[in-house]
Amino acid sequence: MKEVINAHGLRAKRSLGQNFLLDPSILSHIVKAAGSLESRTVIEVGPGPGGLTRHILDHPIDHLYVIEMDSRCIEIMEELREHYPKQLSIIAGDALKVDCLQLGKPPRKVISNLPYNVSVPLLFQWLEHIKDFESLTLLFQKEVAKRITAQPRTSDYGKLSIMTQWCCDVSMVFDIPPGAFLPAPKVTSTLVNIRPKSSPLNVDPKALQAVTQAGFNQRRKMLRASLKSVVSDPLSLLEKARIDPTRRAEELSVEEFCDMANAFSTF
């Protein structure tokens, strides 16, 4: 991989959130964590020099779609496609503007070392259509991974935890130290597995987003105060949801937030 990088004069761009992962052992473990890839449609965002891409292509996939906006990396992908003409397609552009539901056929899996600067917006975008994915195996900054997987009554618990966990089972798989990347970031990265629940909680996602946003915007305040930004009578809303108005957002379970969102939807 270093030879590929040197041959193309490739240097990571901070503006694109690039940190290239080159260690073959780590790359292999990332792909293994995604489970069976046999006959799957796989999507990778930001392949860079193609380390993870090559490990995915070593498996009996149906097809791999890589989404890349860096023309230098697209050149590398074009060279790689010459060896995998039937398995690899290249989408040039911004992943936030790509409709992944138009890529291949289910079951779809996303496996990516996500650019740090778009990791959370991409996750929210995929969560809106999570039923169309079998799994998301993604690298995040560790602080983001902790927020995704956090439990109530912890400092990391918040909107990201709830908006992911109401519809998905989530787990942190392993950490990756800064030195494994080129260039080395200032933070540790963590691989997270996100899989759609077979029976997600019954809730309107927009209502859930509204009440979680309000609750955690003022997380130190009691719900009877923090919810005033979205409803004129928080006490009646909380009574309908059977939630004590003196509790704070960080004390509620994901299920209780869904109850509150359902009450909000009909309020």
DSSP of the chain: -HHHHHHTT----GGGT--EE--HHHHHHHHHHT---TT-EEEEE--TTSHHHHHHHTS--SEEEEEE--HHHHHHHHHHHTT-TTTEEEEES-GGG--GGGSS-SSEEEEEE--GGGHHHHHHHHHTTGGGEEEEEEEEEHHHHHHHH--TTSTT-SHHHHHHHTTEEEEEEEEE-GGGEESPPSS-EEEEEEEE-SS-----HHHHHHHHHHHHHTTTSBHHHHGGGT-S-HHHHHHHHT--TT-BGGGS-HHHHHHHHHHHHT-
- Do residues 108 and 84 lie in contact, with contact meaning Cβ atoms separated by under 8 Å? no
Predicted confidence at residue 228, as pLDDT, reads 96
CB atoms within 10 A of CB 102: 8
Predicted confidence at residue 8, as pLDDT, reads 63
Predicted confidence at residue 16, as pLDDT, reads 64
The pair of structure tokens assigned to 107 is 């079951």
Predicted confidence at residue 107, as pLDDT, reads 85
The pair of structure tokens assigned to 26 is 């780590």
Q: How far is CA 191 from CA 17, 173, 184, in A?
A: 17, 5, 16
Predicted confidence at residue 87, as pLDDT, reads 97
Predicted confidence at residue 9, as pLDDT, reads 67
Could you list the pLDDT tens digit for every one of the 267 residues in the chain? Answer: 677 766 666 676 666 667 788 899 999 999 999 999 999 999 999 998 999 999 999 999 999 999 999 888 899 999 999 999 999 999 999 999 999 999 999 889 999 999 888 999 999 999 999 999 999 999 999 999 999 999 999 999 999 999 999 999 999 999 999 999 888 888 999 999 999 999 999 999 999 999 999 999 999 999 999 999 999 999 999 999 999 999 999 999 999 999 999 999 988
The pair of structure tokens assigned to 191 is 């691989």
Predicted confidence at residue 160, as pLDDT, reads 98
Cis amide linkage into residue 115, ω under 30° from 0: no
Strands 181-182, 20-21: pairing is antiparallel
Domains of the chain: 2-196 (3.40.50.150), 205-265 (1.10.8.100)
